Amino acid sequence: MSSDQSNGADPQPKNAGQPEKAPRSMSATTTRRALAAVAAGAVVAAIATFAIAGGFNRSENLPAHSAGSGPQATGSVDGDAFASAAAGDCLDWTPSNDPQEDRKDVAKVDCSEEHRFEVAAPLDLSVYPGAEFGPGSRYPGALRFAALRDEHCVPAVDSYLGAKFDPYGKFSVGLMFPSESGWAAGERTLRCGLQFSSTAGTLLPFTGKVAEQDQSNIWDPGTCIGINQNVPTDPVDCAQPHAFEVISVVDLATQFPSSMPAVEDQDKYLEGVCTQAANEYLGSADALRNKTLTLFWDNLELDSWLAGSRRVNCSVGKETDAGGFSTITGSAKGEILINGAAPVPPPPVPEGRSIPTPLPGAAPVPGN
């Protein structure tokens, strides 16, 4: 069995997420576009990888069943948990870099335990109109599975969550499907569901059912997000090269308890809150400037607000002139390197109001 994932900002439309002056902040639109582009590329790469991954194999054909009866247990030698998974079931497995071993031990677990996939609905291609997925049909491939995910799984997830899915939130819509060998053996059962994936497309474990938790796309303070070619990837130890470091979580509901605030109002509030958070996290009001870091924060979209998401992150990184991030090594709380070099603090700001040099022939400045 293989798994396809959507994470994006349209991707999950993430499904990534992320500002104006504080000491200095990255524009929300710019940041979201950057992360959206990253996520989109990651999704394509992830789909291609999972499409060739080893999956469930069968020794016999699918049992016949009528449309409407739903996918049946297939009796796969190593796929009983997947084959019998129904809406609301949570699945987990031991990840492996070997595509022939990855997802070989898929098992149902209690959703209160760590898992990597929550089933939203079964998808039985054996009852799909036409001969496209019939016996002996050609393996659909990554792009076709992605289209099936968008066509069937997105509405299935929306129905499963009662129209409370945050497309910009922490979770993304995924599809688990057979490998080529499983398909050749007659496997046609797929599962639509929810997963928590990093910007780079790595499936991360989570606990609890999605419907019972805040879907806000946030990381805990102190989390550092890795970097690859100036774009964010997976969480890493802050001693490793990274793009930015999360410094706080802000609940917008404390300031805006009723209707959703406009982005301008979010920015106005977050500018002060994130600046204070940066001063406290870094240890002083001058640290952000002296370390030449950029302060930025996320904004909530209307779809996120309607789904119940209320929390956003404040983070610090170092934006580049061309867009994206510089590489930082070390936690912002201590000594850091930016692109391999220690940051050079800018000249101190003169105290009081600066007096410009008078133009020739101008009247003397009072007191001189």
pLDDT the model gives residue 104:
73
Highest mean pLDDT: which range of 96-110, 184-198, 240-254 = 240-254
pLDDT tens digits along 178-198: 878 888 888 888 999 999 987
- Closest Cα partner for 158 from 92, 82, 215? 215
Integer Cα distance of 157 and 366 in angstroms: 72
Give the Cα separation of 295 and 293 in Å (integer): 7
Domain map (residue ranges) of the chain: 78-210, 221-336
**For the segment 225-244, what is each residue's pLDDT rounded down to a tens digit?**
999 999 999 899 999 999 99
Q: Return the minimum-mean-pLDDT range out of 28-32, 155-159, 245-249.
A: 28-32
DSSP β-ladder status, 231-236 and 294-297 = unpaired
Spatial contact of 115 and 92, defined as CB atoms under 8 Å apart: yes
Average pLDDT of 297-316? 96
The answer to whether 227 and 243 are in contact (CB under 8 A) is yes
Q: Which amino acid belongs to residue 12?
A: Q
Please, which pLDDT band fits residue 355 given cuts at 50, 70 and 90? low
The span from the CA of 190 to the CA of 186, in Å, is 12
Two tokens, residue 54: 């080893």
Higher pLDDT, 198 or 151: 151
Exposure of 122 in the CB half-sphere (CA atoms within 13 A):
21
Helix locations, the chain, DSSP H: 28-51, 80-84, 142-148, 154-160, 180-184, 263-282, 287-290, 302-306
pLDDT at 50 over 50: no
Q: Which residues pair with 197 in a beta bridge?
A: 203
Whether 67 shows a pLDDT value over 80: the answer reads no
Model pTM greater than 0.85? no
Which range has highest mean pLDDT (179-193, 331-345, 354-368)?
Answer: 331-345
Q: Is the pLDDT of residue 155 over 70?
A: yes
**Other C-beta atoms within 10 Å of 289: how many?**
17
| pLDDT, mean of residues 320-342 | 95
Strand partners, 57: none
CB atoms within 10 A of CB 125: 21
Nearest of 315, 338, 288 to residue 222 by alpha carbon: 315
Q: How far apart are CA 328 and CA 36, in angstroms?
A: 21
> Do 57 and 100 contact (CB within 8 A), yes or no?
no
Neighbours of 346 (CB within 10 A): 9
pLDDT (mean) for 52-63: 26
Tell me the C-alpha to C-alpha distance, in Å, between residue 163 and each of 99, 159, 212, 304, 317. 35, 6, 14, 11, 35
Q: What is the C-alpha separation between 113 and 119, in angstroms, rounded?
A: 15
Handedness of CA 75, 80, 84, 87 (dihedral sign): negative
Q: Which residue has the higher pLDDT, 366 or 279?
A: 279
Picking from 262, 202, 218, 255, the residue whose alpha carbon sits closest to that of residue 38 is 202
How is residue 330 written in tokens?
């070390």
Give the SS3 label for residue 218. Answer: coil
Rg (CA), the chain: 25
- What phi, psi does 160 have (nearest 5°)? -60, -40
